[in-house]
Amino acid sequence: MISSIAVQVLPMTANENDVIKIVDHVIAYIDASGVNYQVGAFESTLEGDYDQLMAILAQLPKVAAEITDIPVMVYSKINMATTSDVLTIAKKTDKYR
């Protein structure tokens, strides 16, 4: 693994049911991608090949638009290394589980 990204898809609505429906749809897309990921309360973290993760990230607003016309904001943090792996989700969080 060369990179990891944290991503938050934030629907621009106060309707909780719409937020959950949109976020669940986006998470299902991430799950189907086959990359290692972990869902958190505010964002999800994905691990894998940099180009694959960037392709997934680019699709997230479109994936949300498949089921709604509610605008979404997509926030991301990208951690990429060219000659070594980045810290994994497990290394960062397993000690807290």
- Identify the structural domains of the chain with CATH numbers, from first to last: 2-96 (3.30.70.930)
Q: What is 2-52 written as a DSSP string?
A: -EEEEEEEEES-S-HHHHHHHHHHHHHHHHHHT-EEEE-SS-EEEEE-HHH
pLDDT in tens, 59-77: 999 999 999 999 999 999 9
Give me 21's structure tokens: 């429906």
pLDDT in tens, 6-41: 999 999 999 999 999 999 999 999 999 999 999 999
Task: Place 88 in a pLDDT band, splitting at 50, 70 and 90.
Answer: confident
Give me 9's structure tokens: 């898809």
33-to-17, 59, 68, 91 alpha-carbon distances in Å: 25, 11, 21, 22
pTM: 0.91
DSSP code for 95: G
Strands 3-11 and 72-80: antiparallel
